[in-house]
Structure formats: C-alpha cells, structure tokens
Structure 1
Amino acid sequence: MTMQGGLLQDKIAVIHGGSGAIGGAVARAFARDGARVHLTARHREGLERVAQDIAAAGGHAAIATLDAMDADAVEAHAQAVAESEGRIDIALNAVGIVHVQGPTFAELSVQEYLQPIADYNRCNFLTAQAAAKRMRSGGVLLTLSTPGSRMSGVGFLGYGATCASIEAFSRLLAGELGPAGIRVVCLRPHAIPDALPRSHAREVFAESARRAGVSIEAMLEEAARTGTLLGRLPTLQQVANYAAFVASDRAAAMTGAIANLSCGALVD
C-alpha cells in the first residue's frame, strides 16, 4: 500500500471516523500513497480492521478510540500524534452521526432538526482546531458534505442545513488559515452505494426508503438513474482517490473549495 515517491509520501494524516466506510477507504488510499495514518473512532473493532488491511499491504496505521464530540479527547489525541510524529500534515473528519431523515417539515421536531446541525458542526470544529494548531505551512484540512447542501426536497431539512453549514465553515476556515499556508477543502460526494454495508447511512436512509415503498438500494438506483448526469453514483474508491489527490502537493493551489463529487447531481 505504500509506494516510494507516492503522492503523500511521509505525510502525517489524522482521520476521525477512520473505521467508517469513507474514513476507512480514505485511510487505505492515504497509506497506499505513502502517508502515515492515525485513525480514531468510538469503537476499536472497526479501527483494527482498517489498520490490519493497511499493515498487510505494507503501510503504517495507528489507532485510538475516542469520541470526536469530546474536546479534551480530540485535543489530547492531536497532541500525542504531534509529539510522536513531529507534526500533523493532513486531517479529515469523516465522522458519521445518525440523525433523522424522512419526516416532513410538519412532522419534524425542533430537536430532530437541530441535532445534526449541532453535532456535525461541533465535531468538525473540534477536530479541525486540534489539527490546525499542529500544522505547518502546507497542511490540509478536509471536511465532508453532500449535495443536500444545495438540493431542495422533502425529508432532509436538518441534514441539508447541516451540509450547507459545513461548507460555509470550510470556506470561512480557509480564509482564517490561508495566511498560515494551511488549505481547507470540503469533499461533497453524493450517496455512495458500496458504503452501505459499513456506514451509518443505511440507518439514516431507511425511513425515506420505507416512505417511498422501495428498498434503500432501489432508492439509490433511481437517484443515480434520474438525478445524475453520469447515470451513476460515486464509489468509495473514487472518493478516496480524490481525497488523496487533493491532500497532496499536486493540489497546492486549491483552498476554500467545495469539491463536487456528485456524478453530476449538481452542476457548478
């Protein structure tokens, strides 16, 4: 998985949510391209699976169990990585948080609406701040959004507002950190079908699919067929490969950007 002269050779990367579908795929891609990855999640079993895959392919992965909502735990982990490695070069927040999708505005409680907005913004703020304090010029912060930030529809009001706020956070943070030479890029993939077996997304999508009277897989197939220019949805490998590229020096001119990985569901 490591390659001499890879895109991320000897870079130090921290991935929160490293046991999840996107976090794990990105971790493997980073390690393949030469990075030393440090993975966190709340549960150890998933982290160990990803770390074992990376080690079996000749890469380096360290794991730590923590809750990305816990400011002290996030700070302590970033400090430990910086002390052991000398710095942090790349950080990705790939934390997935279960939230309500499906109910209409009339059915939605204010708590259900606000929960993803509060939780996703809290953990993105904490992980970005902890990593940025240990970055040098050339550091890269990556966040995650979805096309829900710009789409209008029924059943995803809270999460759509969440994604819009994460994108705004990323743009504004790029302005704050640009003078220090730190780049910020938000990745905006559409729903990823091959992530479902390892993602919280299956639970999140379940109610919307039930209301539509179809399986989750059929719901995503319809979204791909009728809602994207390419007639398909992104794969985990495609998202991970792009993350590795944009975290590398080959994308050194890019910051404050929202990377459209929606297969044409949105057209910029």
Structure 2
Amino acid sequence: MLLQEKVAVITGGGRGIGRTIALAYARAGARLALAARSVTALEETRRMVSDLGGEAVVIPTDVSQATAVAALAQAVQEHFGRVDILVNNSGTAGPTAPLWEITPDAWEETFAVNVRGTFLCCRALLPLMIAQASGCIICIGSMTGKRPLFGRTPYAASKLALVGLARTLAWEVGPYGIRVNVISPGPVEGERIEQVIRKQAEVKGISLEEARATFLRDAPLGRLVTAEEVAAAAVFLASEQAASITGEDLNVSAGIVMY
C-alpha cells in the first residue's frame, strides 16, 4: 500500500494508460479523482476502482479549458480537502501527416490538450500542494518526443515540451517539498498503438506488418510495453520510495529510448 490514503487526481482516467494507473493507484491505497471529457468511460473506471475496494469520484473535465480545470480543483478541494498526486495523463494523438500538410488548427488542438492542459492542471492544483508543503506531479510524455516518428511533428513537439515544463517546474516547487517528473512510455499495447501503426502504414505507403516491425526492431526487449508497466512506474514515482527523484524523465520503452 505505497500510496495509502493519498489523494490522486488523474486526468484522462477513463481509458487506456489513465485507467490502468487509476487501478494501480487504487490497489496501492490511494483515493482518486478521475477527470476526462467522457463521463461514461470515467464511470466505468470508477466502478472498477470500487470493485477493488477503492474510492473514486468522477469529475468531467476538458483540461484545455481554464474554467473547467478551475472547477476540477475546487471539486477536489471540497471533496478531499487536499491533493497529494497529480497525474497529467490527458492527451491527444494529433494528426499524422508531413508538417506542411498539417493545418494550424490541428497543430493548436494537439498543444491545447497535451501542453496547455498540463499547464492548467498544474496551475490550478499546485496551490493546494504548496499550502500543505508536499505533493507529486507526474506528466505522461512519450518516447516520440525524443525519437522521430514520421508525420508526428505536433505530437512529438508537444510531448517533448512536457520535459522542459517538468524540469523547470521542479525547480520552482522543490522548496515546497513538491516533486515533478515525466514518464515517457514506448509503444504501449492496445488499440491506440494499432491506430498509430495503421497511420504510419498509410503515410509511408508500406504494409501493416512492415509498420508494426518498425516499433519492435529497435527494442532490446523485442516487444511492446504494457500499460501495467507504465502504471507501476507511476506508482513508484508517486511513492516515498522516490522521495529524492524530481525533474526526471523516466523511459518505459522496452529500451527503444535510453536518453
């Protein structure tokens, strides 16, 4: 029970990595506030947490909107009275195309969720952490921020931006006992990576098998990453076992990225 009685806010908690982190946190003893746009997906995660004997509240939130994020922070304060962990997991894949074919609106939409959303959540919830002189922020980045992926300039740029944000923020909030880190997953098993593979095949004009092979050939472990492995890293970084770790970018990529 590494997170016993800790209060964790998880954005994008309705599915995928966010849901898996929520379940791992519940098993570790945390109390959860789940935020995302899809109420249906959030409620399903809440029921799964409840089945584990955990506590979770659902707070529908569009993280790209300042008023919605302010309402999220207020709801967390009213329900729990504190926040110990913020997992900035909400994200969008954005378009897949050569940069010169990407519209400004598509570029800005990617940054609105992946970067602005992280900024707004940190901005809204940090006052609670500062007041209690403790806390932990985890941003879910991507290996794509550091390793080129054809046609994914907005996504890559937005995910690498999180590293700069986290490292600078770690300096700003360190005196208050607050830690800030990034987890950069590699290709994670599931429907989302299958969509990415299909898009890669389309824009490169290659077969699905060839596109899938590119995600495996550079992995020393020769496999994709599981959402559970990313969640295990998120539990560790939020726990007292990582009390001296801040400003780090932790790769969970089966070795595809080592920097």
Does the pair score TM above 0.5? yes
Which deviates the most, 74-83 or 206-215?
A: 206-215
Could you say what secondary structure the match of 2:251 adopts? strand
What residue number does 1:107 align with?
Answer: 101
What is the aligned counterpart of 2:222 among 227, 231, 247? 231
Percent of paired sites with the same residue? 33
**Is 2:164 the counterpart of 1:168?**
yes
Q: Distance in 1 between matches of 2:106 and 2:55?
A: 39
Quote the residue 1:3 is aligned against.
Answer: none
Query: For the structure 1 residues 104 and 40, does the alpha-carbon distance in structure 2 shift closer, same or farther, using more than 3 Å as the test?
Result: same
Separation (CA, whole Å) in 1 of partners of 2:36 and 2:149: 32
Would you say the 8 A contact 1:185–1:258 is kept in 2? yes
Can you give the 5+ residue segments of structure 2 that lack an aligned partner in the other structure?
A: none
Moved more, 134-143 or 44-53: 134-143
Question: Which one-letter code corresponds to 1:142 in the other structure?
Answer: I
Match of residue 143, structure 1, among 139, 143, 162 = 139
Alpha carbons of 1:71 and 1:245: their partners in 2 closer, same or farther (altered >3 Å)? same
Q: Which amino acid aligns with 2:237?
A: V
What is the rounded CA distance, in whole Å, between the counterparts of 1:132 and 1:104 in structure 2? 37
The alpha carbon displacement at 1:91 in A equals 0.6
- Structure 1 partner of 2:200: 208
Match for residue 155 of structure 2 among 155, 159, 163: 159
CA 1:153–1:72: 2 relative to 1, 3 Å = closer
**How far is the alpha carbon of 1:202 from its aligned partner?**
5.1
How far does residue 210 in structure 1 lie from its aligned partner after superposition? Answer: 2.1
Q: Give the Cα separation in 2 of the matches to 1:86 and 1:153.
A: 42
CA contact (8 A) 2:150 2:200 kept: no
Check whether the contact 2:90–2:113 (CA below 8 A) recurs between aligned residues: no
Aligned counterparts of 2:78 and 2:105: Cα–Cα separation in 1: 40
Query: 1:144 and 1:235, CA in 2 relative to 1: closer, same or farther beyond 3 A?
Result: same
Structure 1 portions without partners, runs of 5+:
1-5
Could you tell me whether the CA contact under 8 Å between 1:99 and 1:204 is conserved in 2?
no
Paired residue for 2:88? 93
How high is the TM-score relative to the length of structure 1?
A: 0.89
Contact 2:69 2:121 in 1 (8 A): yes
Give the match's secondary structure for 2:256. Answer: coil
| 1:246 match | 237
Q: Which amino acid aligns with 1:81?
A: V
2:74 pairs with 1:83: no
Residue number in structure 1 paired with 2:35: 40
1:133 counterpart residue number: 127
**Partner of 1:72: helix, strand, or coil?**
helix
SS in 2 for 1:148: helix
Pairing 1:15–2:46 present: no
Between the aligned partners of 1:205 and 1:95, the Cα distance in structure 2 is 21
> Normalising by the residue count of structure 2, what TM-score does the alignment of the two structures yield?
0.92
Please say if 1:119 is aligned against 2:85.
no
SS, match of residue 167 in structure 1? helix
Contact 2:220 2:255 survives alignment (8 Å): yes
Name the amino acid aligned to 1:133: P
1:190 counterpart = 2:182: no
Change (3 A) 1:250 1:110: same
* Counterparts of 2:224 and 2:194, CA distance in 1: 15
What displacement does 1:206 show?
3.8
Shift of residue 90, structure 1, vs aligned partner: 0.3
How many residue pairs get aligned? The number is 256
Is the 2:216–2:222 contact (alpha carbons within 8 Å) kept by the matching residues of 1? yes
